[in-house]
Amino acid sequence: MDDVIVLDRLVKTYGRQRGLAGLDLRVRAGEVLGFLGPNGAGKSTTIRLLLDLIRPTSGAVRVLGLDPRADAVALHRRVGYLAGDFVVDGRQTVGACLRFLAGLRAGVPAGRIDVLAERLHLDLSARIKSLSKGNRQKVGLVQAFMHEPELLILDEPTSGLDPLVQQTFLQMVSEAAANGQTVFMSSHVMAEVQAVADRVAIIRDGRLVALDTVAALRSQAVRHIEITFAGPVTADAFDTVPGVTGLSVRGTVLRCQLDGSPDALLRAATREHTVTGILATEPQLEDLFHHYYAGAPRAA
């Protein structure tokens, strides 16, 4: 199966408000997909539709080849899910809670729970109601990963976690992908998505505005360029170069923003001048996110 998640023209409305506006998306088997967008963009709505926690207004959803509504029980056995607002009975100990959830999944080896709890520094003997937000999130991570599901659906998975545990989580995601599992991860933390995602999907106002690898998105984004020449130059030779904006020249240093390939700029720079240095600042995923969100919607 090539596509683990298939969304076709998915629409979800809440009265007069629209959560999704014709979302099309394919998630490949074995990949880690980072699902990005600000609050209200439709991320949690999408995740709830994948699991039949809510129903679409129109459009189609297929997950692991199944219909989330007709095949909910069979589908949920094969999925590990961490909600953005993970809540369980606070009267239980962590160990009792996880053993109960493991039983609902037809059993998980006790050693598997112990190993994950140790990696995340989670005390299995503690009462859940005594846990901090970060430690409750660890419980959610263990229950999502413990049965080694074919598909992990994670909604803001590192919320409340300290930096060291965040790194452990990223290692767990990488290991899951290496094991052939698919990971669909919604997050506001750009650095963690950049670290593990094969592709990134960015949604705006319920529509997909970008879908590609981080490297490919970077290649299309604006870079900050600084070129140093052996002697003084003027702006006239560069102000018509395709993709160049924000051009400024001071003596022997040219600074600009570049959208797209640097080929034309480099040709103009070396045609009549001697270049002694070039500095190009690669955009980070956070810069790309703001670029796509602030700009007009574009087809993926």
57-115 confidence digits (pLDDT tens): 999 999 999 999 999 999 999 999 999 888 888 889 999 999 999 988 877 887 999 99
> Do both 210 and 232 map to the same domain?
no
Residue 2 pLDDT grade (very low, low, confident, very high; cuts 50, 70, 90): confident
- How many residues would you count in the chain? 300
Residues 181, 117, single domain; the answer is no
157 with 208, same domain?
yes
122 with 142: CB under 8 angstroms?
Answer: yes
Same structural domain, 4 and 74: yes
Give mean pLDDT, residues 257-284: 88
Instruction: Give the span between the Cα atoms of 113 and 105, in whole angstroms.
Output: 13
Q: Within this chain, do residues 192 and 232 fall inside the same structural domain, yes or no?
A: no
- 59 and 113 assigned to the same domain: no
Q: Answer yes or no: are the C-beta atoms of 158 and 171 closer than 8 Å.
A: no
Token pair, residue 187, equals 């997050």
Mean pLDDT of 185-199: 85
Nearest Cα neighbor of 177 from 211, 151, 213, 154 is 151
List the domain range (segments joined by +) for residue 100.
Answer: 89-139
What CATH number does residue 199 fall under? Answer: 3.40.50.300
Q: Is residue 84 part of a domain?
A: no
> Do 214 and 288 reside in the same domain of the chain?
yes
Domain count across the chain = 3
Asked whether residue 265 is domain-assigned, the answer is yes
Q: How wide is the angle at C-alpha 25 spanned by C-alphas 171 and 168, nearest 5°?
A: 10
Where does the pLDDT of residue 296 fall: very low under 50, low under 70, confident under 90, or very high at 90 and above? very low
Say if residue 211 is in the same domain as residue 290.
Answer: yes
Residue 144 lies in a domain: no
Is the same domain home to 40 and 176? yes
Residues 29 and 135 in one domain: no
- Cβ count near 206 (within 10 Å): 23
- Residue 43 and residue 1 share a domain: yes
Which of 101, 121, 139 is the endpoint of a domain?
Answer: 139
Q: How far from 31 is each of 45, 105, 123, 182, CA to CA, in Å?
A: 21, 24, 31, 5
99-130 pLDDT, tens per residue?
999 988 877 887 999 999 999 999 999 999 99
Name 110's Cβ contacts closer than 8 Å, sequence gap at least 6: 99
- Window from 71-75, 113-117, 178-182, 211-215 with minimum mean pLDDT: 211-215
**Is there a domain that residue 299 lies in?**
yes
The answer to whether the beta carbons of residues 59 and 7 sit under 8 Å apart is: yes
Is residue 195 in a domain?
Answer: yes
Same domain, 26 and 172: yes
How many C-beta neighbours within 10 Å does residue 282 have?
A: 11
Residue 88 is predicted with a pLDDT of 87
CATH number at residue 270: 3.30.70
Between 208 and 290, the higher pLDDT residue? 208
pLDDT at 237: 86
Q: Look at residue 234 and tell me if it is in a domain.
A: yes
Give me the pLDDT at residue 7, please. Answer: 96
